[in-house]
Amino acid sequence: MARTEVQFGTDLLADEVSAGMALSQEAGWNQIPPDWDFFQRHGRVFTARTDGQVVATSAVVFFENAAWVGLVLVAKAWRRRGLATQLVNSCIAEAEARAAEIWLDATPDGAEVYSRLNFVRVGELVRMRRPSLGGVPCASKLAEGADLNAFIKLDWAAFGFDRAMLMRNFVQRQGTVLRRVAEDGCLVRDGRVARHIGPLMASSEDGACKLIAAALEGEPGELIIDLYRHHAQTFQFLLNHGFAEERKFFRMVRGKDAVPSASPSAFASAGPEYG
Model confidence pLDDT, tens digit, residues 179-214: 999 999 999 999 999 999 999 999 999 999 999 999
CB count within 10 Å of CB 233 equals 12
260 pLDDT higher than 70: no
CB count within 10 Å of CB 260 equals 11
Per the domain annotation, does 275 fall within a domain?
A: no
- Domain containing residue 204: CATH number: 3.40.630.90
144 pLDDT higher than 50: no
Say what percent of the chain tops pLDDT 90. 71
- Do 134 and 95 fall into the same domain? no
CA angle 239, 274, 172 (to 5 degrees): 95
Domain count, the chain: 2
- Do 170 and 246 fall into the same domain? yes
- Do 179 and 252 fall into the same domain? yes
- Do 139 and 237 fall into the same domain? yes
- Do 145 and 253 fall into the same domain? yes
Find the domain containing 176 and state its range. Answer: 127-268
**What is the secondary structure of 64-93 as a DSSP string?**
TTEEEEEEEEE-GGGTTSSHHHHHHHHHHH
The pLDDT of residue 134: 84
- Do 132 and 257 fall into the same domain? yes
- Do 248 and 137 fall into the same domain? yes
Per the domain annotation, does 109 fall within a domain?
A: no
139 pLDDT higher than 80: no
Which of 79, 99, 119 is the last residue before a domain boundary?
99
Which of 82, 99, 116 is the last residue before a domain boundary?
99
118 closest CA partner among 96, 139, 145, 98: 96
168, 176 contact by CB (below 8 A):
no
pTM confidence score:
0.91
- Do 38 and 131 fall into the same domain? no
The pLDDT of residue 172: 93
159 closest CA partner among 269, 60, 258: 269
- Do 140 and 256 fall into the same domain? yes
